[in-house]
Amino acid sequence: MMSTSSLRVRPGRVSDALALRDIRLEALADTPDAFGETYQQCAAWGEELWTLKAQEWNFYLLERDGRVAGMARGESHNERPDAPFLFAMYVSPAERGTEAARLLVDTVSAWAAAEGVEALYLYVSTAVPRARAFYIKVGFTDTGADLAMHRDESLVCAEMRRDVSDFAFHVHRVEPMALYDLRRRVLRDDRPEVDVANPSDLLESTLHYGGFLGERTVVSASFFTTPSPTPPHAASYQLRYMATDYDVQGRGLGRRLLEQVIGDLSRRGSRELWANARTSAVDFYTSTGWRIIEDSLHVSAETGIEHVVIHRYVDRSATPD
Ligand SMILES: CC(C)(COP(=O)(O)OP(=O)(O)OC[C@H]1O[C@@H](n2cnc3c(N)ncnc32)[C@H](O)[C@@H]1OP(=O)(O)O)[C@@H](O)C(=O)NCCC(=O)NCCS
């Protein structure tokens, strides 16, 4: 029988605090000279502090078949607040020499591109030549700057940068399966038992769009042909499963995806769009031309979450004031 192995990198959540602790302690024990913190320091942190770190840090977990096997952080540096840095990069020994480390770096590069900057930076200790060789392989170059580690000035770190212009945001049609990971993680709490496939996903009339930063899918949206819930019940698309990945929310990517697909929907004869929107996301929709239908508050039978019905005209000039 053929065995398939799954590899993914995802933004970490507060609920990952203990997984974050375990992989960070593994990294500090494995390669002490690579990092500014020490194993002794971090092993003394209690669960509460790790929970706080999981809240504060923009961190990513690499998972092989659902088991955490690596991590990285993407944040600005205390001394360089204007530049996004890659920190705490680590993959478990079994994952070295595979595509895992590149996938982590590409995921963090996509986040840096969403910050609207040209490059992702890092500091790499001269004591870890394998790491430096890896960074050169994936396109980092020396900036010429260096920094001694605070805890041990004999450990010198070279600053490197990677151009992230290849990670510019773009939108295109995709097969529904390409969106299932985002649907599950962002809309279904990453619950493995939930079926995120919709029976109508494979209908020829259903359209699926992905928003990408490089090859990373960061926004999902699917449009199903269903009549509008408002008179005169015109031909319309129902938007479902709109989701933007956690680390790049609030940067206008969802809005940009909708703007880009609306022309396509109009050419396909749609005059109106409608959706059941989570009340928590209503502000996003109303700021992008959608209106809430009066008295439409209801609880979704599928998720138990409160929704309202919203709609918008495809041609915004048709929107009545
Ligand atoms: C740094 C790290 C993420 C890189 O991931 P990786 O999967 O090991 O990287 P790769 O194997 O794809 O690339 C490493 C390159 O270094 C080369 N290399 C291996 N050992 C080396 C050594 N001792 N000196 C120099 N180069 C070495 C490899 O041959 C490879 O190059 P190649 O693919 O052209 O042959 C991983 O090694 C790691 O987690 N190390 C421990 C933590 C660490 O050092 N983090 C860096 C913090 S800045």
Query: Is 133 near ligand 1, meaning CB less than 6 Å away?
Result: yes
User: Which pLDDT score, from 0 to 100, does residue 146 have?
Assistant: 93
Q: Name the packing angle between helices 17-30 and 47-56 (round to 10°).
A: 100
Please give the structure tokens belonging to residue 246.
Answer: 């956690």
In terms of domains, do 191 and 231 share one? yes
Q: Report which protein residue has its CA nearest ligand 1's atom 10.
A: 97
Whether 245 maps to a domain, the answer reads: yes
pLDDT classification of 314: cutoffs 50, 70, 90:
confident
Q: What is the pLDDT of residues 296-307, one digit of tens each?
A: 899 988 889 999
In the chain, how many domains are there?
Answer: 2
Do residues 181 and 280 both lie within one domain?
yes
Minimal-distance CA residue to ligand 1 atom 23: 130
- Residue 229 pLDDT grade (very low, low, confident, very high; cuts 50, 70, 90): confident
Domain end, chosen from 165, 182, 201, is at 165
Please give the share of the chain, as a percent, with pLDDT higher than 70: 97
Distance, in Å, from the CA atom of 100 to the CA atom of 96, rounded to the nearest integer, reads 7
The domain boundary residue, chosen from 165, 185, 202: 165
Distance in Å, CA 131 to ligand 1 centroid: 4
Q: Are residues 172 and 156 in the same domain?
A: no
**pLDDT value for 316:** 59
Is 261 found in the same domain as 134? no
Angle (CA) 14-19-24 rounded to 5° is: 105
**18 and 155 co-located in one domain:** yes
Indicate whether residue 36 lines ligand 1 (CB < 6 A).
Answer: no
Are 141 and 255 in a shared domain? no
pLDDT at 321 over 60: no
pLDDT tens-digit series, residues 25-84 = 999 999 999 999 999 999 999 999 999 999 999 999 999 999 999 999 999 888 788 899
Q: How far apart are the first and last CA of the chain?
A: 62
What is the reported pLDDT for 119?
97
One domain for residues 161 and 20: yes
- Are residues 174 and 161 both part of a single domain? no
Residue span of the structural domain in which 120 resides:
7-165
Average pLDDT, the chain: 93
- Considering 138, 165, 192, which residue would you say is the last residue of a domain? 165
Residue 209's CATH number: 3.40.630.30
Claim to verify: residue 138 and residue 253 sit in the same structural domain: no
Residue nearest to atom 40 of ligand 1 (CA): 90
- Check whether residue 128 and residue 176 sit in a common domain: no
Q: How far apart are CA 170 and CA 65, in angstroms?
A: 29
